[in-house]
A and B are shown apart, each in its own frame.
Chain A
Amino acid sequence: MKILVAIKPVPNPDEKVKIRPDGSGIVLDNIKMVINPFCEIAVEEALRIKEKQGGEVVILTVGPKEGEQQVRTALAMGADRAIQVEAEKGLDSLAVAKFLAKVVEQEKPDLVILGKQAVDDDNNQVGQILAALLSWPQATFASKIEFLDGNKKAHVGRETDGGIETIEVPLPCVVTTDLRLNEPRYASLPGIMKAKKKELKVIPSASLGVDAAPKVKVLSLASPKERAGGRKVADVAELVAKLKNEAKVL
């Protein structure tokens, strides 16, 4: 099976990020970029499918050149080759999905896997928009993927509020991954050295004929209010009184 995995570089979620004083974005100096954790799960799932039934895993990313480091990480994990659509920073979900759709049309994979959302903007849109642009079926928030009838269709377990919902989708399709689908492997040292020799094709975004003009504009970013300290109450009566009169939630 030929699998295309779209990944996005994001600031390391283990680090504390600061918002720029003018509220226009976050301070990225000295912040390590990593593969978005949900995308990493997508890479892992693609590698497991390939290990089970053979095929090819192609990594795809859209964004500035610096993203090469995260692409190399995915290659070091075991992907076969990569495509980078070199584009400016800060594209909105629709523009990214349009670029992905162009590459999908060229590559004709049997399956596209993406993270359900990136942990930087938490948009949760690209997979869905991509499926719509391609007119492909989509299975989002996957926690289990099974292939049936010689890869003609897949059963995908989806994490919903009520529990696991299993849906059937014909291939080709778009799948987005949830947290519990798998635990991604580390990039091994020999894998890192092998990744050096793997193909990374760079496509200038302008060559794809996509209208990437933003439809969404970020007006400002602000930190959540600092939490004030809590207070102890003597009994239930006082608690109820405070909830009624001070917090005004009752």
Chain B
Amino acid sequence: MGMTTELTDYMGFQALLTAEEKLVRSTARKFVNEEVLPIIDRHAQTETFPAHLIPMMGDLGFYGPNLPEKYGCAGLSNVAYGLLMYELERGDSALRSFASVQGALVMYPIYTYGSDAQKEHWLPRMAAGKAIGCFGLTEPDFGSNPGGMRTQAVREAGGKWRINGSKMWITNGSIADVAVVWAKTADGIRGFLVEKGAPGFTAPQMKGKWSLRASVTSELIFEDVRVDEETGMLPNARGLKGPLSCLTQARYGIAWGALGAADACYQTALEYALNRIQFDKPIASYQLQQRKLAEMVTEITKGQLLALHLGRLKDQGTCTFDQVSMAKMNNVNIALEVARSARTMLGANGIMGEYPIMRHANNLESVYTYEGTHDMHTLIIGEKVTGISAFR
């Protein structure tokens, strides 16, 4: 697409990557260029998910690639995983969201909190894209405060659990084969695996979004849904820590992904500004436009270095959730600013589907408040530096 075919690299960021990390990014970039960019606008316009990409991404190992090889995963570094998210979201946040949910929010908890039998049953199929997962934590009345959830699971005789309640804003909900569902029990919050078609379980799709239009968003409704304790409950997750640890994984990917969307907007604006002639000169030669481009590329560069450093910490096993909060908060925020600024440079063209900018800008409006709102991440950082929680 145009003259800029490589990711924006102002500070030699790519020289800091290993050979495998570079290869992973090349594969992901090629896939996005060839399979996603030509079709994604049509899907966003018609509010449909490009489901034909699900098995292709599975074949390429895009789901849970940082999990071990014994479950059919690639065993990548967290940085390589981040680069994959960057490239996928350069295509569209919907694709990155799909892969984030599948890998970080479903495969990760099954891997971390599941029994051996649950891991062996689900992980290889999910890695291949033969089973799709969704993650049910948020409820209509409990977003930033998931601990207040009303969904309940009650233990019954015969090793069964009965689940009642509802979840909302669930990515992949209507197309999922299995839902990781968090519910209150007498023993605190526990995680359950509810399979598609379980009696009493429905997952109607929420239509009419003006953001993430190429992504499936659903409600999950549980009316006396019964699951077997052995196959349907994650034995090793207790309390809110379980779901929150999953969110840390997903937020890490978002901190990278948002940069991909920002990069697509920046490169589009740069190319446009160099070719768009007004008053006999390319608009790129005017100071106001140069300032916008300089600010965009500066923020993207800072974001890349932040994400890369965070990834290295994560690979060492020392990264903390509040550090992930900083990267998610900052990178999504700057991505949204970049998208809006890029939109102004394209004028009316900026609102058209022919260019990716408005689609990214609209997507990022959701990304800004999902997986922990921008404001909540701000308060997590505030709590970290002051020792005082502003929300509890």
Taking Cβ atoms with an 8 Å cutoff, the residues of A that contact B are: 12, 14-16, 30, 32, 34, 68-69, 72-73, 76, 186-193, 195-196
With A188-B59, A189-B62 in contact, do A73 and B5 touch (Cβ < 8 Å)? no
A188 touches B26 (CB 8 A): no
A192 touches B5 (CB 8 A): no
- The yes or no answer to B310 lying at the interface (CB within 8 A) is no
Q: A69-B22, A72-B19 known; A186 and B74 CB under 8 Å?
A: no
User: In the bound complex, do residue A14 and residue B5 qualify as a contact, i.e. CB atoms below 8 Å apart?
Assistant: yes
Which chain B positions have C-beta within 8 A of A191? Answer: 61
**Contact status A189-B27, CB under 8 Å:** yes
B311 to chain A, nearest CB (A): 16
**Among A30, A72, A188, which residue has its beta carbon within 8 angstroms of that of B60?**
A188
> Assuming the A-B contacts A186-B60, A192-B20, A193-B76, are A16 and B3 also in contact, with contact meaning beta carbons closer than 8 angstroms in the complex?
yes
Which of B9, B23, B76, B84 lies at the interface centre, i.e. has the most chain A CB atoms within 10 A of its CB? B23
Residue B187 interfacial (CB < 8 Å): no
> Which residues of B51-80 are within 8 A (CB) of A?
59-62, 65, 69, 72-76, 80
For this complex, 9 residue pairs linking A to B, each with C-beta atoms less than 8 Å apart, are: A30-B6, A34-B26, A186-B30, A186-B60, A187-B27, A190-B61, A192-B76, A193-B69, A195-B23
The distance in angstroms between the C-alpha atoms of A30 and B8, with both chains bound, is 11
Alpha-carbon gap, A189 to B72, bound state (A): 11
Most buried by B among A12, A68, A187, A192: A192
By a beta-carbon cutoff of 8 Å, the part of chain B in contact with chain A is: 3, 5-6, 9, 19-20, 22-24, 26-27, 30-31, 59-62, 65, 69, 72-76, 80, 84
- Among B3, B5, B9, contact of A12 (Cβ-Cβ < 8 Å): B5
Known contacts A186-B31, A188-B59, A189-B62, A73 near B26 by CB under 8 Å = yes
A73–B29 alpha-carbon span in the complex (Å)? 14
- Chain A residue, CB-CB nearest to B9: A30
Contact in complex: B31, A192 (CB < 8 Å): no
Q: Closest B-chain residue to A75, C-beta based?
A: B23
Choose among A12, A30, A69 the residue that contacts B23 (Cβ–Cβ < 8 A): A69
Measured CB to CB, the nearest residue on chain A to B22 is: A69
Q: Given the complex, which residues of A lie within 8 Å of B19, measured CB to CB?
A: 68-69, 72
Given contacts A188-B60, A189-B65, contact A15 B5 (CB under 8 A): yes
Bound complex: CA A34 to CA B80 (Å) = 19
Q: Taking CB as reference atom, which chain B residue is nearest A183?
A: B34
A188 touches B61 (CB 8 A): yes
Residues of B within 8 A of A68 (CB): 19
Whether B22 contacts A189 by the Cβ 8 Å rule is no
Which residues in A have their C-beta under 8 angstroms from that of B30?
Answer: 186
Residues of A within 8 A of B84 (CB): 189
Q: Specify the chain B residue showing the minimal Cβ separation from A76.
A: B23
Among B5, B26, B73, which residue has its beta carbon within 8 angstroms of that of A190?
A: B73
Pick the residue among A14, A16, A32, A192 that contacts B27 (CB under 8 A). Answer: A192
Chain B min CB distance to A18 (Å): 12
> CA–CA, A68 to B23, complex, Å?
12
Least CB separation from B34: chain A residue: A186
A175 to B23, CA, bound (A): 28
Give the distance to chain B from A121, nearest Cβ to Cβ, in Å. Answer: 21
